[in-house]
Amino acid sequence: MRSFHLMVYFRWTTFAMLAFVFFNTMNVNAQDDSITFPYVINSENTSGPMPNGYHYEMWKQNPGTVKMTVPNDEAKFEVEWRNIQNFVARVGLKFDETQTHDEIGTFTADVAFQKGQISGGLAYFGIYGWTVDPLVEFYVMEDWQEWRPRAGDQSGHQGKGTINVDGANYDVVTRQMRGQPSIKGDATDFPQVFSIRQNTRSSGSISISEHFKKWESLGIKLGNLYEVKIKVESYSGSNGGSGSCKVTQGKILVNGMIPTSTKPFSVDFSGGRRNLTGLTSTNGTYTLISLTGQKISSISSDLSQPPVFPMNNIAPGIYLLQSKVNGVTVQTRQWVVK
């Protein structure tokens, strides 16, 4: 990661201010400054970062309608669908495709799904993601509706065995997809990998890395991570699937933490200004955003020079400090100002 120096001025009042800087180690895309949270997605294929450090993504096929609401509360979200063919709604961690799961750390999740009435198609609930090099689509299915992949069915699913994770048995099933939509194009070939819980559940803790390791012990090769997210998906071959689901508890953790909220750094204000490490580039912008997505203040700066960001009128609270080059977010920092 490149480095820059950010010079921040603080004005002393009758109380001492404290700030903690949290470094975002994930690669994130540019965020539209007009987006506010809760963010409502209506039948649109879209994705982007959230102020709390997680990432949302919606993908759907026509016909039908899907409404996804992302509140920026951990990795929680809710989704309603009507007369759909297929959609995948998910919130969690997004990566830059340069590291494998074991290079990043140990993945776990805490989830709870509250299903509404579902009709006219299947539905999957659990953990979802992709790797690249090789391209692999993976599922940890904690619950399902109407139909689940089974070894030997007409869709070409192959059984790889049974694994035990978190005290429960999961059937491991793979399927080779040919000429299908993926994160790398609309007509690609790639395998799908499923861990399917034999005794379904609507909530609990999931040792995601244990699934990764046990898949690899079965000869299933994974690549560099694109994402690890909490997912709700539904499919209807008759284009008539309808239903709803709320993710009422949602966390994806790496080494027991959300990667964007790591070691706190205490700021010394005695000198009136403080040098903070970060990124280096040329012209860019710094934007201070509230955790509801509201833009508080923005400045343009040559990132090769230490910019000055005025904090005189900033109220105590939690903020997102976003650095952009050519409109693309290159780093995001979370601030707690007391």
SS (H, E, C) the chain: CCCCEEEEECCCCCCCCCEEEEECCCCCCCCCCCCCCCEEEECCCEEEECCCCCEEEEEEECCCEEEEEECCCCCCEEEEEEEECEEEEEEEEECCCCCCHHHHCCEEEEEEEEECCCECCEEEEEEEEEEECCCEEEEEEEEEECCCCCCCCCCCCEEEEEEEECCEEEEEEEEEEEEEEECCEEEEEEEEEEEEECCCCCEEEECHHHHHHHHHHCCCCCCEEEEEEEEEEEECCCCCEEEEEEEEEEEEEECCECCCCCCCCCCCCCCCEEEEECCCCCEEEEEEEECCCCEEEEEEEECCCCCEEECCCCCCEEEEEEEEECCEEEEEEEEEEC
- Is the model's pLDDT at 146 over the cut of 50? yes
What local confidence, expressed as pLDDT, does residue 186 receive? 87
- Is the model's pLDDT at 192 over the cut of 60? yes
Give the CATH number of domain 39-254: 2.60.120.180
pLDDT confidence of 210, banded at 50, 70, 90?
Answer: very high
What local confidence, expressed as pLDDT, does residue 285 receive? 77
pLDDT confidence of 330, banded at 50, 70, 90?
Answer: low
Residue 101 region, left (φ>0) first, then alpha (ψ -120 to 50), else beta? alpha
Which of the two residues, 12 and 125, has the higher pLDDT score? 125
- Is the model's pLDDT at 205 over the cut of 80? yes
Residue 229 region, left (φ>0) first, then alpha (ψ -120 to 50), else beta? beta
- Is the model's pLDDT at 7 over the cut of 70? no
What local confidence, expressed as pLDDT, does residue 15 receive? 23
Give the mean model confidence (pLDDT) for residues 265-290.
Answer: 46
What local confidence, expressed as pLDDT, does residue 153 receive? 82
Which of the two residues, 24 and 110, has the higher pLDDT score? 110
Give the mean model confidence (pLDDT) for residues 279-297.
Answer: 65
pTM more than 0.75 = no
Percent of the chain with pLDDT over 90: 59
pLDDT confidence of 328, banded at 50, 70, 90?
Answer: low
- Is the model's pLDDT at 257 over the cut of 70? yes
pLDDT confidence of 58, banded at 50, 70, 90?
Answer: very high
What local confidence, expressed as pLDDT, does residue 198 receive? 97
The first and second tokens of residue 194, run together, are 């499923």
Known active-site residue 142: no
What local confidence, expressed as pLDDT, does residue 117 receive? 94
pLDDT confidence of 259, banded at 50, 70, 90?
Answer: confident
What local confidence, expressed as pLDDT, does residue 293 receive? 66
- Considering 21-25, 29-33, 43-47, the range whose residues carry the highest mean pLDDT is 43-47
The domain ranges of the chain are: 5-24+261-337, 39-254
Question: Which one is catalytic: 57, 74, 78, 137?
Answer: 137
- Is the model's pLDDT at 281 over the cut of 50? no
Give the mean model confidence (pLDDT) for residues 271-282.
Answer: 35
Lowest mean pLDDT among 29-33, 118-122, 329-333: 29-33
Known active-site residue 97: no
Which of the two residues, 267 and 75, has the higher pLDDT score? 75
- Is the model's pLDDT at 52 over the cut of 90? no
- Is the model's pLDDT at 319 over the cut of 80? no
